[in-house]
Chains A and B, each alone.
Chain A
Amino acid sequence: MRPIRDERLIIQNLRNIRLAFGVQSAGIGIILLYTLIRYGLEEMIAQPVWIVFMLTAITLGYANLKISVDMDRPSNPRKPGSYYYSILMSAAAGLIVGGLVWFSHPKEPLRDALIIGGVVFVCLLIPSFVVSYWRHKKAQDEQNEE
């Protein structure tokens, strides 16, 4: 098959991929929902399609971060937030969640609270770093254009 060069057909192809993605996601959703109702949460999470579903959601989320940064209009676009602020906020969230786990389950070992707090820290740190990076890049582009 020859590569598509016609811009109209390229757009049409992307629309078709979007449609197929919607159908695929609906199918995965139905399978997961069926498993949840029939066998419970544990079985649903154990399914390989759950990992596919989560990976797709994470990929889409990360890909859309750039769109969010382009869409938002900060009060001072020339001064994007510092990278240290991202670390600080992620660390604070990790500490709060870890602390809550520790206080709510005092009989469980401290290690569990540390792991949960650490996961929250990392899961917030990566996207906030990505957002900070795009904001810095956007600010730099705006300065270069002027």
Chain B
Amino acid sequence: MENRVKHARVQSGFTQQQLADQIGVTRQTISLIEKGSYNPTLRLCLEICYAVNQSLDELFWIDKEE
């Protein structure tokens, strides 16, 4: 699923590995989330939001397709 995690991570000055270490997952998981190949649980979404200081809405919200 499309998201803005990569943009937020770069803005916060994290590498994928640093973000992964902070929230307790592997770098590959962060990479897959950024590519939209893996849909994280709500808990992991929140962990990412806390780490990059952004809201769930800013990172993961997408408008419903018509």
Contacts and interface: CB of A to CB of B under 8 A. Distances in A.
Interface string B17-42: 00000001110110010000010110
21 contacts: A5-B24, A5-B25, A6-B24, A6-B25, A6-B26, A6-B29, A7-B25, A7-B29, A7-B40, A7-B41, A7-B43, A7-B44, A8-B25, A8-B26, A8-B28, A8-B29, A8-B32, A8-B38, A8-B40, A9-B26, A9-B29
Interface residues of A, number: 5
B50 to A, nearest CB: 16
A52 to B, nearest CB: 34
A5 B28 CA distance: 13
Chain B contact surface mostly: loop
Nearest to A5: B24
Contacts of A5: 24-25
Contacts of B43: 7
